[in-house]
Amino acid sequence: MVEPEEFVPEAIEEIKQQMGAEGRAVMALSGGVDSSVCAALAYEAVGERVVPVYVDTGLMRKGETAAVEEAFGTMESLRVVDARQRFLDALDDVVDPEEKRKVIGEEFMRVFEQEARDADARYCIQGTIYPDRIESEGGIKSHHNVGGLPDVLDFDEIIEPVRELYKDEVREVARYLDLPEEISERMPFPGPGLAVRVIGEVTEDKLHAAREATAIVEEELEEGGYDPWQALAAVVGKGTGVKGDNRVHGWIVAVRAVESRDGMTAQAIDVDWQTLQSIQSRVTGTLPDVARVVYDVTHKPPATIEYE
Amino acid sequence: MNVVIVDNGGQFTHLEGRALRDVGVSHEIVDNTADPAEVVERADALVLSGGPSIEDVGRTPEYLESGLPILGICLGHQIIARQLGGAVEGGDHGGYADVKIHVEEDGGLFEGLPESFNAWASHADEVVELPDGFTRTARSEVCEVEAMQHSERPIYGVQFHPEVSQTEHGLDIFRNFVEVARGVHERGPDDPAVSS
């Protein structure tokens, strides 16, 4: 286990070294614990020389944008970019998961590039953690915030303060730094966001179903007394249903809840029937175009936590 | 003492580093294309990681001749089997996530462990014929050779993954391997009294 008391001063020192005496750094802030810890460390190291950029891709969870604005609003250098339509347009007709990740990565880069130019930034700070690196190098996932993004932008240096840490260790650091619980305990959320929680083409109606259903899953599991490493809902296909007396051909939503130490391996949680029914009832009851709800019992391996 | 982890491209290789870190021993990870002479120079013991393919193992087979204590995990275990006269084939039943390990021979990696424990696996192939001089030390319902060791030299193989958090006693297995390696390191590798 990495010791926060040792790690934090070393990380701050490293950022100072890498950023030299002057120049600004941009960093991609997602609202998740990894980038939030980086923002906190960078702020300690160089203050307002850090420009955190939050991009609303339209692929974020319910209420995420508002939460970020609230948590980081006091940082004067914070920039919030509304890029929802851009991403949806870029994802038009894209169905292959690897292609989705590539398109999102590229679009994100373009938005970020503009922000970096506007901020006149020489450095880039990323919240990459160790599993992001392994899973990209091993060919399991191509997206992760590794390579691609800053390569093209010609920064003097790319700074990754938490690259050697696992998620559980980043949380320890977040708690040590006294970040709000809402952030330190926030569930992991994939880089490409809800785009990988819908099978096939990314459309607003599928996103809406995934977004709302995910919020329901997170709430109901908390109500039920669970504390998953990660929990989500994904639109995985289409199936028939009958609502009222009408035949429906609607979305099949898969519910996933796993326990894990570090995200490398994970077990599907044995969620009780009552909680599953609460989820099912709210999802099919409040989302007219969802026909049914299934629960994913597969561990990682052989599955991954997310669907794409 | 320094343990070198040979990376065969597995997704859990860094977790092997984490396990050694948590056991308190110095370690480093090298690519499986590293020069054998260099590997032997830096290592007091080797861990051969898992990986996606037995056709993609770099120079790992050459490290087996080093005389160092070796722990092969998953693909690493299969490399040892194939290289030293055994055989590896597709299993009837892949092993993913939980398997119940039944220990057949005490001591070695299983020193102090219960007779059976849950481990996590992730493999389609398995060792179907033990290499020369090896005995089977554990089995499961889905895989006949879950663990093996050489009867004289400190070479061990496990098909499951002791480095993932769900494997019970995973850290103990690393600890036991490090103990054996320390013993060899202190006595000197050519000492005929060295045994597992």
Which residue in the set B9, B22, B166 is minimally distant from A265, CB to CB?
B166
Q: Is A163 near chain B, with CB under 8 Å?
A: no
Residue type for position A249: H
Q: b or e along A101-118 (b: 16 or more beta carbons within 10 Å of the residue's beta carbon)?
A: bbbbbebbbebbbebbee
DSSP string, A120-184: TEEEEE----HHHHHHHHTTS-S-TTSSSHHHHHT-SEEE-TTTT--HHHHHHHHHHTT--HHHH
Same domain? A144 vs A278: no
pLDDT of residue A236: 97
Half-sphere exposure of B187 (CA within 13 A, CB side): 16
CA torsion sign for A227, A228, A234, A240 is negative
Tens-digit pLDDT profile for chain B (196 aa)?
999 999 999 989 999 999 999 999 999 999 999 999 999 999 999 999 999 999 999 999 999 999 999 999 999 999 999 999 999 999 888 888 899 999 999 999 999 999 999 999 999 899 999 999 999 999 999 999 999 999 999 999 999 999 999 999 999 999 999 999 999 888 875 655 544 4
Report the CATH number that the domain containing residue A266 is assigned in CATH.
Answer: 3.30.300.10
pLDDT tens string A181-209: 878 888 888 889 999 999 999 999 999 99
* A253/chain B closest Cα distance in angstroms: 24
Q: Is A264 near chain B, with CB under 8 Å?
A: yes
Residue that finishes a domain, picked among A184, A209, A242: A184
C-alpha distances out from residue B45 to A238, B3, B21, B61, Å? 53, 5, 14, 15
The 3-state DSSP class for residue A240 equals strand
**Residues 6 or more apart whose Cβ sits within 8 Å of residue A298:** A268
Same domain? A160 vs A89: yes
B165/A135 touch (CB, cutoff 8 Å), yes or no: no
Residue A306 belongs to a domain: no
Residue of B nearest to A3 (CA): B22
A265/B165 touch (CB, cutoff 8 Å), yes or no: yes
pLDDT of residue B189: 56
Residue that finishes a domain, picked among A160, A184, A208: A184
* Domain tally, chain A: 2
Report the CATH number that the domain containing residue A119 is assigned in CATH.
Answer: 3.40.50.620
pLDDT of residue A185: 85
Please pick, among B74, B146, B168, B169, the residue that the annotation labels catalytic: B74
| pTM for the model | 0.83
DSSP string, chain B: -EEEEEE-S-TTHHHHHHHHHHHT-EEEEEETTS-HHHHHHH-SEEEE---S-TT--TTHHHHGGG-S-EEEETHHHHHHHHHTT-EEEEEEEEEEEEEEEEE-S-SGGGTT--SEEEEEEEEEEEEEEPPTTEEEEEE-SS-S-SEEEESSSSEEEESS-TTSTTSTTHHHHHHHHHHHHHHHHHH-TT-TT---
Same domain? A78 vs A222: no
Helix (H) or strand (E) holding A254: strand A246-259
Residue that finishes a domain, picked among A128, A152, A184: A184
The 3-state DSSP class for residue A191 equals coil
pLDDT tens string A274-288: 999 999 999 999 999
Segments forming the whole domain that contains residue A258 = 198-295
Tens-digit pLDDT profile for chain A (308 aa)?
788 999 999 999 999 999 999 999 999 898 889 999 999 999 999 999 999 999 999 999 998 888 888 878 888 889 999 999 999 999 999 999 999 999 998 998 889 889 989 999 999 998 988 777 765 555 444 444 444 455 556 788 889 999 989 888 999 999 999 888 878 888 888 889 999 999 999 999 999 999 999 999 999 999 999 999 999 999 999 999 998 888 889 999 999 999 999 888 999 999 999 999 999 999 999 999 999 999 999 999 999 999 99
Confidence check on the interface: ipTM exceeds 0.90, yes or no: no
Report the CATH number that the domain containing residue B74 is assigned in CATH.
Answer: 3.40.50.880
Residue A308 belongs to a domain: no
CA torsion sign for A8, A9, A14, A19 is positive
Same domain? A178 vs A56: yes
- Looking up tokens 């190098």 gives A137
d(CA B51, CA B71): 14
**Residues 6 or more apart whose Cβ sits within 8 Å of residue A140:** A304, B11
B161 catalytic residue (yes or no): yes
* Domain tally, chain B: 1
Residue A263 belongs to a domain: yes
The 3-state DSSP class for residue A258 equals strand
